[in-house]
Amino acid sequence: MNFNTLVTAIQNELNDFGPRTSTRIVQWVNEGHKFICQSRRWSFLRVRYSDQITIAPAGFPFDIESSITVATTATPAKSIQAIWDVTDGTYDPMEQTTAEQLRDHFPTDYAQSDSPTLWYYVTGKTIRVFPETSDNRKLVFSFEKKIPDYVAGATTALMIPDEYIDVLKNYVLFKAYLYKNDQRSQLFSSAYQSLLKAMVEAEANKAGIIYDDKFFDDRFGGYVPMSIRAESISDSIDFTIVTAGVEVAIAHNLGVIPSEVLPVVKTGKLSFANVYAGTTPWTETHAYLTASLAGDYSVCFRIP
């Protein structure tokens, strides 16, 4: 389903086509879409293999948000999982490093030219390879898709598959009725949570992870599906967003770069907003987060 089709369906459900409500529906669909997409490592957001991308030496730094294609369609990447050099017809995996590590290990010939074996981020959206290549290279990328911001009237397809679109629809209806101070918000809140749980279980089953049991984890305030426990999760970390949309540095001692952030709702915390990653790349000591509203938040990190 595309963005505008869902907005229209929600307007029909509410029987409210006023400009003020329409503006809020656009905001809520964007918020809900981003919140759901960032709540878990969904398989539909991961691309195992891109097209073979031919990159000339002048093509570096390479923009991962505008230059990767899948089935000839431009597909912006949020983060790179793996890169293969297929120039000679074989899949040669390239290892990830950092510019700092390269300077430490190659202090005198940092700019050497040869067939590249390493890659690293220059910014959050651009990468380089090392050694620097003097000829065209064919690379294949495995990556996580970047979640877009949709504008009113956009006919771009949503990233959430159609089979799960009712999860997002019920989230938006919950927000709409809550805004209208209508008791039906409770109904749609319950429906959203039930559908989201079913979505998690369905995706876990597709991946071959089938857990019917649950375990108790006080970080989440109760019993949590076992499928969530299959991956390692950090203790909760508290932080404050002073200005909505402005990222803050969150220190951690995980010793690795977290793969995902999981919002945590604690007893007594009544604020409800979306926590999402900032633009600064995460490191082994810091993550960079922001939220759609100023306030105090708690999160856990998923450890790869």
d(CA 176, CA 186): 11
Residue 216 banded pLDDT, cuts 50, 70, 90: very low
Q: What is the mean pLDDT of the chain?
A: 84
Any domain includes 195: no
Encode pLDDT of 86-119 as tens digits: 998 888 899 998 888 888 877 555 555 678 899 9
User: pLDDT at residue 224 above 60?
Assistant: no
Q: For the chain, how many structural domains are there in total?
A: 2
State yes or no: cis peptide before 76, omega within 30 of 0. no
User: pLDDT at residue 210 above 70?
Assistant: no
Any domain includes 159: no
Q: Which of 145, 172, 188 is the last residue of a domain?
A: 145
Any domain includes 1: no
User: pLDDT at residue 209 above 60?
Assistant: no
Q: Which of 127, 145, 163 is the last residue of a domain?
A: 145
How much is the pLDDT for 134?
Answer: 86
Any domain includes 18: no
User: pLDDT at residue 46 above 50?
Assistant: yes
Encode pLDDT of 226-285 as tens digits: 444 444 678 788 888 888 778 899 888 777 788 888 877 665 554 455 677 878 888 888
Encode pLDDT of 144-183 as tens digits: 999 999 999 999 999 999 999 999 999 999 999 999 999 9
Which amino acid, one-letter code, is at 86? Answer: V
More confident: 226 or 292? 292
d(CA 247, CA 52): 34
The model's pTM is 0.65
CATH of the domain at 303: 2.60.40
Both tokens of 145, joined, read 């898709």
Any domain includes 169: no
Task: Give the E-state strand segments of 59-195 in sequence order.
Answer: 62-63, 69-70, 73-74, 77-85, 92-96, 118-121, 126-130, 137-145
Note down the domain range covering 75: 45-145
More confident: 294 or 7? 7
How much is the pLDDT for 215?
Answer: 41
Tell me the average pLDDT across 292-299. Answer: 80
Any domain includes 139: yes
Any domain includes 187: no
How much is the pLDDT for 177?
Answer: 94
Q: Which of 145, 171, 197 is the last residue of a domain?
A: 145
